[in-house]
Amino acid sequence: MEAIQLHTNVKSLNGELAIPGDKSISHRSIMFGAIAEGETTVTNFLLGDDCLNTIECFKKLGVLIEREDEKVIIHGKGLDGLQEPADILDVGNSGTTIRLLLGILAGRPFHSVLIGDQSIGKRPMTRVTQPLRSLGAVIHGRKNGEFTPLSIKGGHLEGMEYQLPVASAQVKSSILFAGLQASGTTTIIEPVKTRDHTERMIRQFGGEVEINGQTIQIKGNQKLTGTSIHVPGDISSAAFFLVAGAVLPNSEIKLTNVGLNPTRTGIIDVMNEMGADITITQHNEDAFEPSGDIVIKSSVLKGITIEGNIIPRLIDEIPIIALLATQAEGKTIIKDAHELKVKETNRIDTVVAELTKLGADIEATDDGMIINGKSNLTGGSVSSHGDHRIGMMLAIAASLCKEDVYLEKEDAIYVSYPSFFDHLHSLT
Ligand code: S3P
């Protein structure tokens, strides 16, 4: 396996970065633009492979989508404008694409087949196929619809009340897309509040959704109207530089236009509790998706326990938080994060295995990990295992290492942050 050599022994990181667009919001902007009536213009769209796959899927569903760099124009013709695809819909590595798309297709009276890459083939789909079947969609798939390949024939849906068994914004969003097309009202009850980009975007496109704590209600047969969406920077991408700036001595990094939706800012709360030096300026709290500039400076950090309701607010940041914890004094315990096992890789296993290779003191538990800091990281040969967030975490880890570090499967980072290495090197 070919590997790239990572930069090690980095003395400090300084400078300013404009973080690329948010992955979750970029996906949703295409999906809503495609089912709305009229033109939708998206700016600062994320050019990661996952979001580009979402565009390709909607083109196969007959939607005219034009793109020039980070600007996308979607010519929506409403839900009824979607057409039966002549070809298989390939979502690549993207769990968000397949799960949300299934919710849209659940109400469409035609047949579609969905596949993805090897990682997608291992990720659980019953969490969406079961409620979508209860609403009225006909879904077939490997292991009774647990795994891809999946086929779906949508049609008439009846609204229902559904208690989510897992805290998952993907499942919630999938049911909301189906609920938009169902007769009557669909009610979703979340065990813990998860990211609310779908709810915000329904309103941005002129639709109605009622939110009472963890209960979300949507009426069917709504018509959405095309609009303009400016995608803020992805806090999950910013997280790599927040941690890098905190742990490398004499560092100061400014990250501009970062999404600060409160359902996503768990990383900031955790870093503040650990003693990080974070300042937020230009906080645009009233926008449809809040954003702001963040300045991070190096500081002394201490270990903490991360558990309970905060987990969905930082679920994608746990790999980089684990690295952060290796540089904090004392013990950090991460609990209630079983969901890590069903991400692009089993992130409990991949984080623990790869950080152990670099000399960290980290142990896996059933629902998270325990990290003892502060460790001097050494070096070695590591792999992203095809998981973008593991690859980027390891590149930041390498900057702390004293010996050589080689990374296999670095190309995984194209999924969410194609300019990651350019951004990292621009700060040295
Ligand atoms: C996402 C929700 C999260 C997250 C994923 C993106 C979304 O997954 O891990 O990267 O865009 O809704 P779950 O909702 O399944 O936890």
Q: Measured between alpha carbons, how far is 197 from 169 in angstroms, rounded to an integer?
A: 9
Q: How far is CA 398 from CA 38, 49, 209, 251, 295, in A?
A: 48, 25, 45, 16, 22
Residue 1 has pLDDT above 80, yes or no: no
pLDDT of residue 380: 97
pLDDT of residue 391: 98
Catalytic residue among 293, 316, 361, 411: 316
The binding site for phosphoenolpyruvate consists of 23, 95, 123, 170, 347, 389
pLDDT in tens, 343-357: 999 999 999 999 999
The Å distance, Cα 99 to ligand 1 centre, comes to: 10
Domains of the chain in start order, with CATH, are 3-21+232-426 (3.65.10.10), 23-230 (3.65.10.10)
Burial of 237 (0-12, 13-18, 19+ CB in 10 A): buried
pLDDT band with cut points at 50, 70 and 90 for residue 197: very high
Terminal-to-terminal C-alpha distance of the chain? 28
Q: What is the mean pLDDT of residues 294-311?
A: 98
pLDDT of residue 286: 82
Residue 387 has pLDDT above 90, yes or no: yes
Q: Measured between alpha carbons, how far is 378 from 400 in angstroms, rounded to an integer?
A: 8
Residue 190 has pLDDT above 90, yes or no: yes
CB atoms within 10 A of CB 380: 16
pLDDT of residue 299: 98
Residue 374: cis peptide before it, omega within 30 degrees of 0: yes
Ligand 1 atom, smallest distance to 168 CA: 14
pLDDT in tens, 204-224: 999 999 999 999 999 999 999
- What's the mean per-residue pLDDT of the chain? 98
Q: How far is CA 6 from CA 216, 278, 351, 403, in A?
A: 45, 27, 17, 10
pLDDT of residue 285: 85
Q: Give me the residues paired with residue 364 across strands.
A: 369
Amino acid at 243: V
Q: What is the mean pLDDT of residues 73-83?
A: 98
Contact assessment for residue 66 and residue 34, using Cβ atoms and an 8 Å cutoff = no
The Å distance, Cα 54 to ligand 1 centre, comes to: 15
Residue 327 has pLDDT above 90, yes or no: yes
Q: What is the mean pLDDT of residues 52-65?
A: 98
Shortest-distance Cα residue to atom 4 of ligand 1? 316
> 367-370: which pairs have CB atoms within 8 A and are 24 or more residues apart?
367/335, 367/336, 367/337, 367/338, 368/306, 368/307, 368/318, 368/333, 368/334, 368/335, 368/336, 368/337, 368/340, 369/322, 369/333, 369/334, 370/331, 370/332, 370/333, 370/334
Handedness of CA 87, 88, 89, 94 (dihedral sign): negative
316 flagged as catalytic: yes
Q: What is the mean pLDDT of residues 392-411?
A: 98
Collapsing DSSP to helix, strand or coil, 301 comes out as coil
pLDDT band with cut points at 50, 70 and 90 for residue 287: confident
Q: Which of 38, 76, 40, 42 is nearest to 58 (CA)?
A: 76
Pocket of ligand 1 (CB under 6 A): 24, 96, 168-170, 173, 194-195, 315-316, 339
pLDDT in tens, 100-155: 999 999 999 999 999 999 999 999 999 999 999 999 999 999 999 999 999 999 99
pLDDT of residue 282: 85
The binding site for 3-phosphoshikimate consists of 23-24, 28, 168, 170, 316, 343
pLDDT above 90 coverage of the chain, percent: 98
pLDDT in tens, 269-285: 999 999 999 999 988 88
pLDDT of residue 283: 85
